[in-house]
């Protein structure tokens, strides 16, 4: 909160004289009436203000850059739930978070998206949108059976770079797409072919969403390099993971079209 001041300080042109007690009391009353004290905000109110301020920064940037559809995601229940938890966990000491994020360059798997949100909210939001696109593709590619669903839930609990750079996730994508490709070649019924065509369409749609999320993220990270010292190495690692996933999809999708 901005500090309230009483105006420019008076310049002393002569040594101050000690005022009488009556003048002092009158001056004190006048000062209190003109400039009442402003109490510090309650911690909960301060957190709410910080959240609202960061949300407004995100929305304004996405609107200004014409990513209007993505801007609306700040109102999604999942995002609202996550950012409140991040504020409680990481919102106490912003200055130390810069050092923690810098230290993650040596251990990128330790980077928390909530940590990034506190210091670079727009970048964190673009990363969150990209992760949602990846999670949606996980479901389409790997299926939604109970064992697979448990695995997908586990992936979503991982930290961003732990998930994006995971060889296990990539290998599961490769195996699932190979099994799907074999199923397409062996299927004979019209019902099966229609179901497979729908799944291919969902993959193509999911791939397009991932591409759009990737482009937006690159725009955000590159546009904030001057005040985001971690942008180079984080962007490089994010794209390493995403590009690997995209190649898996491209290779398998092209062979089934």
Three-state DSSP string of the chain: CCCCCCCCCCCCCCCCCCCCHHHHHHHHHHHHHHCCCCCCCCHHHHHHHHHHHHHHHHHHHHHHCCCHHHHHHHHCHHHHHHHHHHHHHHCCCHHHHHHHHHHCCCCHHHCCHHHHHHHCHHHHHHHHHHHHHHHHHHHHHHCCCHHHHHHHHHHHCCCHHHHHCCHHHHHHHHHHHHHHHHHHHHCCCHHHHHHHHHHHHHHHHHHHHHHHHHHHHHHHHHHCHHHCCCHHHHHHHHHHHHHHHHHHHHHHHHHCC
Q: What is the pLDDT of residues 59-86, one digit of tens each?
A: 787 777 766 667 667 777 888 788 778 8
For position 87, what pLDDT does the model report?
A: 77
**Confidence category of residue 148, pLDDT binned at 50, 70, 90:** confident
For position 177, what pLDDT does the model report?
A: 93
**Confidence category of residue 141, pLDDT binned at 50, 70, 90:** very high
For position 69, what pLDDT does the model report?
A: 65
> Of residues 34 and 64, which shows the higher confidence score?
64
For position 133, what pLDDT does the model report?
A: 95
Weakest mean pLDDT among 65-74, 89-98, 195-204, 242-251: 65-74
Average pLDDT, the chain: 78
């Amino acid at each position: 909160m901005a500090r309230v001041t009483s105006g420019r300080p008076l310049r002393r042109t002569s040594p101050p004289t000690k005022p009488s007690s009556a003048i002092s009391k009158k001056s004190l009353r006048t000062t209190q009436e003109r400039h009442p004290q402003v109490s510090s905000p309650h911690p909960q109110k301060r957190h709410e203000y910080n959240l609202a301020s960061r949300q407004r920064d995100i929305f304004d940037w996405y609107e200004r850059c014409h990513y209007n559809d993505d801007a609306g995601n700040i109102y999604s229940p999942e995002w609202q739930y996550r950012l409140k938890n991040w504020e409680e966990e990481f919102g106490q000491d912003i200055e130390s978070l810069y050092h923690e994020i810098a230290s993650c360059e040596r251990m990128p798997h330790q980077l928390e998206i909530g940590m990034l949100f506190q210091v670079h909210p727009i970048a964190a939001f673009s990363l969150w949108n990209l992760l949602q696109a990846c999670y949606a593709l996980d479901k389409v590619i790997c299926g939604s059976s109970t064992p697979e669903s448990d695995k997908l839930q586990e992936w979503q609990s991982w930290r961003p770079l732990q998930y994006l750079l995971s060889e296990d996730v990539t290998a599961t994508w490769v195996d699932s797409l190979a099994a799907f490709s074999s199923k397409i070649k062996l299927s004979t019924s019209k019902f099966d072919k229609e179901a497979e065509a729908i799944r291919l369409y969902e993959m193509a749609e999911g791939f397009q969403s991932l591409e759009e999320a990737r482009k937006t993220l690159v725009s955000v990270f590159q546009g904030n390099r001057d005040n985001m010292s971690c942008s180079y190495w984080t962007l490089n690692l994010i794209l390493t993971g995403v590009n690997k996933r995209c190649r898996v999809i491209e290779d398998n999708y092209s062979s089934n079209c």
